[in-house]
Amino acid sequence: MARIKRGIMRHKRHKKVLKAASGYFQRKKNVFKNAHEQVMKSGQYAFRDRRARKRDFRRLWIARISAGCRMCDTKYSALIDGMTKKGMQVDRKMLSELAIQDMAAFKKLVEQATA
């Protein structure tokens, strides 16, 4: 049986990892062992933070809506409760944009939800 040499594939794999690690600090960018560890850890951070970003944006939108509600003399919880009871389906992202950009339209929504 013929002998299998793996130098080419190893070189390709190392190049791929080192390219992904370009821009890292010190030996993490040019020593394969350190670069591979850091690329793996960076992938874990990226996976985790893609989900955390969704939570962070939801918190931001709720804070903006709450500030808009205070300007309209109501509470965030009362607004959301009124909207669900009336069957109004506007997501928090759009509500926060209305509270920032178009306060008149936001006030109308608040009046409809709380009436």
The residue type at 11? H
CATH number of the structural domain spanning residue 47: 1.10.1900.20
pLDDT for 93 beyond 90? yes
Closest alpha carbon to 80 in 89, 71, 70, 93: 89
Predicted TM-score (pTM) of the model is: 0.77
Give the range of the structural domain holding residue 21, as residue numbers without chain letter.
8-114
| Predicted pLDDT of residue 60 | 97
* Within-domain flag for 1: no
| Predicted pLDDT of residue 5 | 85
| Rounded mean pLDDT, 64-72 | 95
What's the number of domains the chain is made of? 1
CA distance 17 to 36: 6
Cβ–Cβ under 8 Å, residues 32 and 18: yes
| Rounded mean pLDDT, 32-50 | 97
| Rounded mean pLDDT, 53-65 | 97
* Within-domain flag for 31: yes
pLDDT for 1 beyond 90? no
pLDDT for 39 beyond 90? yes
* Within-domain flag for 2: no
| Predicted pLDDT of residue 109 | 93
Name 75's Cβ contacts closer than 8 Å, sequence gap at least 6.
Answer: 66, 69
